[in-house]
Structure 1
């Protein structure tokens, strides 16, 4: 189980960092509505501008903490719980705007991985 936890930590952590630091302003098939960037996606969801910065900051910090938990195990559950909460919000935003299920799948998969880290391991 330890190796599955490590794999989930790396997958979720690097994926969140990729989305928020590399793919931030690039269109992807997973964006909510017809958004072409994360900032635009937040507008589609009807969220205020400041939430883009807050959520982005929290996701990056928690993704880094999830990876750092490889060396500092006390970071593991708080980081996974925090990301699970934020990813729940991501899934709910896709539901709110009636996106096809496909668009919320990455958030749902990462949410599931975070919950496995917290509760199953």
Structure 2
């Protein structure tokens, strides 16, 4: 088991659990989805996807297949977040957190990918 991956997975897991739960009604998230011109049901779906990603990435500490699935789910979600920030013409600074989370998700995938081939 890769210690670096476990550290990143722990950070991503806790972060995405928090981010996902915030999507279920935090005023800031409601306002952001309005600003993004996205329907509120999509905010809830996004929250569910983030919580599922967190569960996979945390379970991946013990099962590397789950780590890869969680890393991919988080990465795809962050690609969507980055594209959303670009669509509404946010400054790059607003997209930095999704960019960093995308990179961390991809690092988890790369560090655990070889275990899928065994």
Q: Which TM-score bucket, shorter chain as reference?
A: 0.7 to 0.9
CA distance in 2, matches of 1:7, 1:100: 30
Q: Which runs of 5+ in 2 are unaligned?
A: 113-118
**TM-score between the two structures when normalised by the length of structure 2:** 0.83
Q: What do residues 72-108 of structure 1 show as CA deviations (whole Å, max 9, x unaligned)?
A: 3221111110110011101111111111212111111
**TM-score between the two structures when normalised by the length of structure 1:** 0.81
Which structure has greater helix proportion? 2
Q: Which runs of 5+ in 1 are unaligned?
A: 26-35
The alignment covers a number of residue pairs equal to 111
Written as runs of structure 1 = structure 2, the 5 A alignment for 1:7-46 is 7-21=7-21, 25=26, 37-46=28-37
- Give the RMSD, CA atoms, in angstroms: 2.0
Deviating beyond 4 angstroms after TM superposition, the runs of 4 or more aligned structure 1 residues are none
Q: Secondary structure of 1:37's match?
A: helix
